[in-house]
Amino acid sequence: MIVLGIDTATRQTSVALGTEGGPIAQMALSVARSHEEIVAPAIQQLLTWSDMSLSQLGGIAVGVGPGLFTGLRVGVETARTLAQVLSAPIVGIPSLDVLAFPLRDARRPIGAVIDARRGEVFVGFYRPVPGGVTRMSEPMVMSPDGLVAELEARAEEVVLVGDGALRYRRELSRLGGQVEFASPSLAYPQAASLVELSVPRLEREEFDRPFDVVPLYLRKSDAEIAWDKRARAG
C-alpha cells in the first residue's frame, strides 16, 4: 500500500510517500511562501520524481495539529479532498505524535513542543515504548514559563523536541540537566514519520471518515480574537 503523508502544522510543509516497507520519497520546505502555494506542487513533484500517479495511492495520512491555524486548514483540506476524489482511506494523526515519533528510542520521556507564536507553545508528553511512543498527556497550550513550571512539577529528566523547544531554549535551559534538546533536524513533524505511524492503522482498516478529520485547534484564531476584542469594545 502506497501512502501519502501531509503535515502543515508548523512553518514547514512536509510531504512524503511510503509503504509498510519504509519511505519512498519525502520533501520538506521551510520557505517564505504560504502552505497553500506549496502543498499541491510539492505532492505533484514527489509523485513525478517517484514515477507514480495519484491513482496509485492506497491511503492518505495527515497531521491534524495542534499547530498554526491557516497551515493546518490547508493540509487537512488537501488531504480530505484527495481522499474523497480518489476514494482512498484517510487517517488523521496529531502532529505532536508525529514530532515525538523519531525519538522512540530515547531513554527518557519526550516533550514535543511546537511554536504556537503569540508567546505560547503547543506541548505533549510521551514515553518511549517498543516500536513507538505512547502519550502521557493530552495536547496543551501554554507559555514558555508555564512549560518550565510543568517540567519542574514532573521532576523527571525529559528530552525536548520541536521548534518551540528551540525558540525558547534559553528559558527552558534554566532547568539545567533535567532537560536535553533534540537535534534541530527533528524540529518539525516529518511526513515520513506520519506515513510510518499511519500504515498499521490503514492495514487494520482503522480509517477515519473524511468529515471527521478536522484540525485540532487549542485556541482561537487571530481573526476570532480580533472579533472578540471589537465586540467587547462595542
Grid cell at residue 109: 520521556
With contact defined as beta carbons under 8 Å apart, do 42 and 52 qualify?
Answer: no
Phi first, then psi: give them for residue 97, nearest 5 degrees. Answer: -60, -45
pLDDT for 2 beyond 50: yes
Q: pLDDT of 120-153, one tens digit each? A: 999 999 999 999 999 999 999 999 999 999 999 9
Mean pLDDT of 196-213: 96
pLDDT of residue 103: 98
Q: Alpha carbon of 179 to those of 55, 155, 161, 170, 172: distances in Å?
A: 46, 10, 10, 12, 8
pLDDT for 226 beyond 80: no
Mean pLDDT of 85-102: 98
Q: In what order do the strands lie in the sheet with 13-19?
A: 22-29, 13-19, 3-7, 59-63, 90-93
Per-residue HEC secondary structure of 170-188 comes to: HHHHHHHHHEEECCHHHCC
With contact defined as beta carbons under 8 Å apart, do 12 and 188 qualify?
Answer: yes
pLDDT of residue 31: 80
- Cβ-in-10-Å burial (0-12, 13-18, 19+) of 222 comes to exposed
Q: Which helix (H) or strand (E) holds 196?
A: helix 191-203
CA-based nearest residue to 47, from 23, 68, 26:
26
Q: pLDDT of 3-25, one tens digit each? A: 999 999 999 999 999 999 999 99
Q: pLDDT of 35-73, one tens digit each? A: 889 999 999 999 999 999 999 999 999 999 999 999 999
pLDDT of residue 222: 53
Complete DSSP assignment for 43-100: HHHHHHHTT--GGG--EEEEE--SS-HHHHHHHHHHHHHHHHHHT--EEEE-HHHHHH
Q: pLDDT of 105-127, one tens digit each? A: 999 999 999 999 999 999 999 99
**Pairwise CA distance, residues 52 & 98, whole Å:** 25
pLDDT for 234 beyond 90: no
pLDDT of residue 181: 98
Mean pLDDT of 207-225: 81
